[in-house]
Amino acid sequence: MLKVSVKWQKEVFPDVEIDTSQPPYVFKVQLYDLTGVPPERQKIMVKGGLLKDDADWGTLGFKQGQKLMMMGTADEVVKAPEKGPVFMEDLPEEEQAVAVGHSAGLINLGNTCYMNSTIQCLHSVPELKSALLQYPQSERRNDLDHPSHMLTVATRDLFNELDKTAKAVAPMQFWMLLRKKYPQFGQLHNGVFMQQDAEECWSQLLYTLSQSLRSPGANENPDSVKQLFGVELVSRMHCQESCEESSESETVYSLKCHISHEVNHLHEGLRHGLKSELEKASPSLGRSAIYLKESRINGLPRYLTIQFVRFFWKRESNQKAKILRKVDYPLELDVYDFCSDDLQKKLEAPRQLLRNEEGKKLGLKIAEKSSTSKDNDVKMSDADEGSSNLARESSLTTSQDDAPVEEKQLTGIYDLVAVLTHKGRSADSGHYVAWVKQESGKWIEFDDDNPIPQREEDITKLSGGGDWHMAYICMYKARAVPM
């Protein structure tokens, strides 16, 4: 890696790395992080004139340790007024300083919309941010590889930066470490970084965080990725040819909505996704056979991720194709019908409490509760106010002073909080955008560095059927009730 020093005004920045496999524009984005001078204002003196965004590094003759001079004016830092009325009531103190009501956008570093949209969706999960804040930068567990550790640190720092500024953030450090951990995201075509699959970026990042955020010496960290996003499935496999049956359990981090000509709604796609055929060795037949696999949910997460399986490999053209079919999805999702019998039994009591609370809000008279229910004033709460019950075991909600308050249980009912969309007909091109619900209840469209307010009624229109943005990943947040 080539290292140079850059002089700007009275400051000198030593050992600035240049990745000569990337265009000079990426180097300018690095300098933007250091100086605050936007790339379009930077004038960097090189042999033969000024450094152009698309120049060929090989013709410039840069040497190790070479000194470069840069001219340009930095963006003026927006200062909060010393006194004045406070707008956007009830915002936390750090958001009042930003005074925009949502986090910052992310600069596209060259076909990185897949990465930007993934970050914006995951950044909206407060429990994940809390777990990252506790992650130590200097100490690394012996069972964790260095690239995973550094990517986790970069994720933590990027989340913090998004919360502290209204100016668009260039995720350069995160992007470099993502490519170091997962080289497939560094693929080039004609010298330009290629568009990548947002779902693959989402899955790989969550896998890394699931490894790094585990507590050493403990079976499970209450704020771990598994507890936040993990769906426990129990599956039954049946071979019609040999009449063999077996069962297995596994944890997945998303449910699949399979799309066919029969699927018009998310529920139908999920039902298809929980059934599959697979070929494996049959002990009784002594050869491979086809098994029918049927899965049910046996443990619920606080955040349920659903992937619409829109991309598939088309053999006749030997390339990835996209399914444009319209598939509607709700703002409120009930997964009770997809749960195992055991889990459905555990969900009955909290679901009844939730129905009673909703009935009270509508002014309905609620029947007297049985002796097993002692509290007539049940308050519904979001899952992010404390550690939730994953319908497997209860955990205590904790107040700010760490005093136990109440146990909460999930209900199997979820509210939509983020949508990641893909626009375009090609799987290897197009554009990814994140649509994220804020704590205020308002929706923001994060189109790279451009956050745009949106109406809630427009969010469910991202269901496909044409060239407009269509849902590729939906993230739902659990409703929980104190028990």
Enumerate the active-site residues. Answer: 113, 431
Q: Is 206 helix (H, G, I), strand (E, B) or coil?
A: helix
Name, in order, each residue with C-beta under 8 angstroms of 251's C-beta and a sequence gap of 6 or more: 226, 230, 231, 232, 233, 299
Burial group, residue 342, by CB count within 10 angstroms (0-12, 13-18, 19+): middle
123-144 residues labelled b (16+ CB within 10 A) or e (exposed): bbbebbbebbeeeeeeebeeee
Name, in order, each residue with C-beta under 8 angstroms of 296's C-beta and a sequence gap of 6 or more: 233, 234, 235, 274, 338, 339, 340, 343
What is the chain's alpha carbon radius of gyration, rounded to the nearest angstrom? 25
DSSP-assigned letters across all residues of 105-167: -B---SS-HHHHHHHHHHHT-HHHHHHHHT--SS---TTS-HHHHHHHHHHHHHHHHHHH-SS
Sign of CA dihedral 282, 286, 288, 290: negative
State both tokens at 28: 């300018």
Distance (Å, whole) CA 309 – CA 256: 7
Distance (Å, whole) CA 444 – CA 436: 5
Residue with tokens 């983020």: 418
Distance (Å, whole) CA 269 – CA 272: 5
Residue 362 neighbours by CB distance under 10 Å = 6
443-470 residues labelled b (16+ CB within 10 A) or e (exposed): bbbbbbeebeebeeeebeebbbeeeebb
Own/partner long-range contacts of 82-91 (Cβ < 8 Å, ≥24 apart): 88/440
Per-residue CA distances from 260 to 45, 310, 312, 428 (Å): 57, 10, 12, 21
Q: Which amino acid is present at 319?
A: Q
